[in-house]
Amino acid sequence: MTSPGRGPVPAAKTVTAPDRGSLPVLVARGLTKRYGHVTALGGTDLTLRRQEVLAVIGDNGAGKSTLIKCLSGAVVPDEGTIEVDGRQVAFRGPLDARAAGIETVYQHLAIAPARDIAANLYLGRELRRKGFAGWGLRLLDRKAMRANTRELLDSLGLLTIQSLDQAAETLSGGQRQGIAVARAAAFGSRVVIMDEPTAALGVKESRKVLDLILEIKNRGIPVILISHDMPHVFEVADRIHIQRLGRRIACVPTADITMPEAVALMTGASQPGPEHIQD
Amino acid sequence: MSTNQAIDARGRRVGEPLTTPPPAPAARLQRLLHAHPLIGPALVLVLACVLFSLLIGPRFYQPANLSLVVQQVQIIGMVGVAQTLVILTAGIDLSVAAIMVFTTVVAAQLAVGAGVPAALALLAGFAAGAACGAVNGLLVTRFRVPPFIATLGTLNVFGALTLLLSESQTVRGADLPALFLWPGQTFSAFGADITYGSVLVLVAFLFVAHVLRRTAWGEHVHVTGDTLEGARLSGIRTDRVLLSVYVIAGLICAVAGWFLIGRVGSVSPFSGENVNLSSITAVVIGGTSLFGGRGHVAGTLLGALIVGVFSNGLTLAGVDVLWQTFSIGVLVVAAVGVDQWTRRVGG
């Protein structure tokens, strides 16, 4: 429960510069998605480097969630390409993205309220018993799932949860968020995407989630964070990607921009210059 | 900015553990029922048995009468298993009884009309049940028809097919192969005559309970009913899960049809008409949520037994049959109320 009183993390200490040479983990180019006459995404680029937290911010209708859905496989873009570790991919569904090592924490969490914690952690990829019982009879190995869940939650400092037998709906909002984040941390081998992870949380619970984001980053997995909360973004992000009217209008290191500038760009109050795109 | 300060600002002393007040008795009951949803129906069944034993005496609790209760509820129980599966996915199947009767007519027409060997005719009936379930499942998954509407439609379709195929005629028991009537045969145990059908229904309950609890398929059925969108985003092929549930439900209904032939002793296109709503009643009284994702076939067994014990006990006590209907209605409403209440646990 007691998280160290970590103040705002200085973005400058992060590892943007030495990684210039290495290949970005995820590169999207010219992503376009239209729904009838509405263009949700009008040719957006996105670059995610190794070992970074990339915040994606933008006003409502800027195309943030469509962009994220393209990256997580929930939406198939009309045009544009996505490369993971330099290899072009075409996601037909969330399973494809997951197979590519991209895990997403959805805004509505994708948590099954009546299932217990271990079941939620392994949702859709339950562990089976070994041998014929597993692949033939499709019997679950609940014991192993429970043990792994305990270990994982413990390593993420989330074992304040009383019992793994509890249904998810008996947990607080923050604990539920913790389960969803833990799931992404456990299975995301290349990228973890988080859509508004602190939107429904109180101060203390948000704190915990921000710590988890940094923890995932420290484990070497880059994070894409979609958030409305500017202080949170400026606290944990290494770079900020600003989305406006379906396009990326800026992408800058957090240290190079102030909160009012970012908001001005996001709302269109000021126009981006050439210095604002740094891939 | 820091958490501790924010907490200080609310007037709490640093280092003091956050104390939660002990939960009120009502909240504790709510949590208990949430964690152990079978307590409710089990309690009702035990209380009903005690009440009728005191009220009626040995006529109620003698083994022969209890065996009769089980025989009376075996069909509802078996169809209830199918209904539980569908309701767990947040659906409903109004065509269960229609499928059951349709498959008995298919089997009887093949065996008696076309001279097909009894075992093959029976298997053809089972296949017909699975096919009916597949129709329901495809309507729900491919054509996105809400289960209530889809099965309301097929209820009529299967019902009409039953009448067409049988030409509204009953096949007498004397004309049926012995295999068809076997579930109604009895053996003696515990001082009562027990039908093979009753035993098979119990086996079916155990088997389905096991599959739901222990297999990946069972897990996916629960999750699909609990959160359809979440299941899809987690990579569960929800359409496949739903289709399989309707197919298996159809198959179970066909097996229930076999037991029905054994129980009634003939094949009539007009039998089993009350089974549709009774199966839903048993599922709901058994504590399975109509909103999907939570419930247990053991609850349905309890629910079916509760219905059976109430009808039997009230009949033996000489109470007007309308009061049986009344009491079952009260139980259904109470069960749904309890479900709504316990679902709100943790807000």
The full 3-state SS of chain B, as one line of letters, equals: CCHHHHHHHCCCCCCCCCCCCCCCHHHHHHHHHHHCCCHHHHHHHHHHHHHHHHHHCHHHHCHHHHHHHHHHHHHHHHHHHHHHHHHHCCCCCCCHHHHHHHHHHHHHHHHHHCCCCHHHHHHHHHHHHHHHHHHHHHHHHCCCCCHHHHHHHHHHHHHHHHHHHHCCCCECHHHCCHHHHHHHCEEEECCEEEEHHHHHHHHHHHHHHHHHHHEHHHHHHHHHHHCHHHHHHCCCCHHHHHHHHHHHHHHHHHHHHHHHHHHHCCECCCCCCCHHHHHHHHHHHCCCCCCCCCCCHHHHHHHHHHHHHHHHHHHHCCCCHHHHHHHHHHHHHHHHHHHHHHHCCCC
pLDDT of the residue at B23: 67
Q: With bands split at pLDDT 50, 70 and 90, how would you rate the model's confidence at B225?
A: very high
Q: Identify all chain B residues contacting A5, using CB atoms and an 8 Å cutoff.
A: 2-4
B6 close to A (CB below 8 A): yes
Pick A113's closest partner by Cβ from B1, B215, B227: B227
| C-alpha atoms less than 13 angstroms from C-alpha of B344 in its C-beta half-sphere | 8
Asked if A113 lies within 8 A of B223 by C-beta distance, the reply is no
Closest to B197 (Cα-Cα) out of B73, B313, B102? B73
Q: CA-to-CA distance for A218 and B197, rounded, in angstroms?
A: 62
The verdict on residue A123 lying in a domain is no
Q: Identify all chain A residues contacting B226, using CB atoms and an 8 Å cutoff.
A: 112-115
The verdict on residue A212 lying in a domain is yes
Q: Identify all chain B residues contacting A108, using CB atoms and an 8 Å cutoff.
A: 229-230
Q: CA-to-CA distance for B345 and B340, rounded, in angstroms?
A: 10
DSSP A92: S
The verdict on residue A242 lying in a domain is yes
CB pairs A-B closer than 8 Å:
95
The verdict on residue A5 lying in a domain is no
Q: Which of A140, A171, A175, A229 best probes binding to B when mutated, by most B CB atoms within 10 angstroms?
A: A140
The verdict on residue A158 lying in a domain is no
The tokens of B318 are what? 């000489």
Residue whose pair of structure tokens reads 């469509």 in the numeric block: A66
CA distance B21 to chain A (A): 16
Which tens digit of pLDDT belongs to each residue from B159-187? 999 999 999 899 998 899 999 999 999 89
Q: CA-to-CA distance for A266 and A276, rounded, in angstroms?
A: 12
Strands A38-48 and A26-35: antiparallel
Q: Which residues of A touch B (CB under 8 A)?
A: 3, 5-8, 74, 93-95, 98, 104, 106, 108-115, 119, 123-126, 128, 137-140, 167, 169-172, 203-204, 207, 231
Pick A111's closest partner by Cβ from B31, B222, B230: B230
Q: Identify all chain A residues contacting B3, using CB atoms and an 8 Å cutoff.
A: 3, 5, 203-204, 207
Q: Which of A89-93, B199-203, B258-262 has the lowest mean pLDDT?
A: A89-93
Nearest CA in chain A to B291: A114
Q: Identify all chain A residues contacting B230, using CB atoms and an 8 Å cutoff.
A: 108-112, 123
B222 close to A (CB below 8 A): yes
The verdict on residue A243 lying in a domain is yes
Interval B285-297 mean pLDDT: 92
Which tens digit of pLDDT belongs to each residue from A208-259? 889 989 999 998 999 999 998 999 999 999 999 999 988 898 999 999 999 9
Nearest CA in chain B to A123: B234
Interval A46-75 mean pLDDT: 91
B294 close to A (CB below 8 A): yes
The verdict on residue A203 lying in a domain is yes
Q: Which of A201, A203, A205, A210 best probes binding to B when mutated, by most B CB atoms within 10 angstroms?
A: A203
Nearest CA in chain A to B5: A5
Pick A124's closest partner by Cβ from B217, B236, B343: B236
Domain with A239, as residue range(s), is 22-114+167-276
CATH of the domain at A84: 3.40.50.300
Hey, which of A5-19, A68-82, B82-96 has the most confident mean pLDDT? Answer: B82-96
Asked if A112 lies within 8 A of B227 by C-beta distance, the reply is yes
3-class SS of residue A71: helix
CA distance A1 to chain B (A): 10
Task: Report ipTM (2 d.p.).
Answer: 0.80
Q: Which of A123, A141, A205 best probes binding to B when mutated, by most B CB atoms within 10 angstroms?
A: A123
Interval A97-110 mean pLDDT: 87
For chain A, give the mean pLDDT: 85
Asked if A126 lies within 8 A of B219 by C-beta distance, the reply is yes
Which tens digit of pLDDT belongs to each residue from B26-59? 888 888 888 888 988 999 999 999 999 999 999 9
pLDDT of the residue at A194: 93
Asked if B2 lies within 8 A of A123 by C-beta distance, the reply is no
Q: CA-to-CA distance for B89 and B221, rounded, in angstroms?
A: 6
Asked if B34 lies within 8 A of A5 by C-beta distance, the reply is no
Interval A124-152 mean pLDDT: 89
Pick A7's closest partner by Cβ from B1, B35, B217: B1
DSSP A85: T
Pick B215's closest partner by Cβ from A114, A138, A203: A138
pLDDT of the residue at A16: 41
Domain count, chain A: 1
Nearest CA in chain B to A232: B1
Distances (CA, A) of A69 to A29, A107, A190, A208, B235: 15, 11, 17, 25, 14
The tokens of B20 are what? 């939660």
The pTM for the full model equals 0.86
Listed by start position, the domains of chain B span 75-275
Residue B245 in this model has a pLDDT that exceeds 80: yes
The verdict on residue A159 lying in a domain is no
